[in-house]
Amino acid sequence: MLQAMLPVFIEKTDAAGRGTTTMSADPDLVLPVPANSKWWIEMHLLVAGTNTAKVRTSWGAPTGATGLRRCLGPGSTTAAQTDADISTSRFGVHALGTAITYGLPRNNNTLLQQIIETAQITIGATAGNIALVWGQAAADTANVTYVSAGSLIKAYRLA
């Protein structure tokens, strides 16, 4: 019983970049969830890319899953700057599948910045996966955007 209360950690090990606006599930950041369960999920993302391309995220979830995503990170209109010390920020609450754009103020695909998204999710009668879905907000094939190795999902099963 106590084992079921421990958090589940899923860590991204591959840092393959994307140079397209086509959003797709990250192959590493996927959490299988059974039907009729309830979860608290945190996604801690280390991202890098140009501020021209930015990054867009949403969450994939099984049919019938409900919940709201709390999204914290660089604002979509933040200006490029090397230290990201005075960036505008996003503090929004959105549906699981809503695509959210974050700026990448460090403006370099080797300088990481953090995005944190959390949600309490109720899974309906259909089991499936909770997954990070992402791509560039504006195509920049010359400068790919990364969700880096070390990004992770931390999940607690509540019921």
Classify burial at 106, counting beta carbons within 10 Å of its beta carbon; exposed 0-12, middle 13-18, buried 19 or more: buried
Quickly state the pLDDT bin for 75 (edges 50, 70, 90).
Answer: very high
Q: pLDDT tens across 48-57, in order?
A: 999 999 999 9
| Per-residue pLDDT tens over the stretch 11-35 | 999 877 999 999 999 999 999 999 9
Domain that includes residue 38, residue range:
2-157
Each residue of 114-130: pLDDT tens digit?
A: 999 999 999 999 999 99
**Sheet containing 128-135: order of strands:** 24-33, 128-135, 55-60, 100-102
Q: How many domains does the chain have?
A: 1
For the residues of 74-140, what is the DSSP string, one character each?
E-TTPPP-SS-SS--EEEEEEETT--EEE--TT-EEEEEEEEEEEEEEE--S--EEEEEEEE-SS--
- 90-113 pLDDT, tens per residue? 999 999 999 999 999 999 988 999
Q: Can you give the CATH number for the domain in which 133 is found?
A: 2.60.120.40
In this prediction, what percent of the chain has a pLDDT beyond 90? 85
**Regarding beta strands 55-60 and 100-102, do their DSSP bridges make them parallel or antiparallel, or are they unpaired?**
antiparallel
Chain centroid to CA 13: how far? 15
Query: CB atoms < 10 A from the CB of 65, how many?
Result: 22
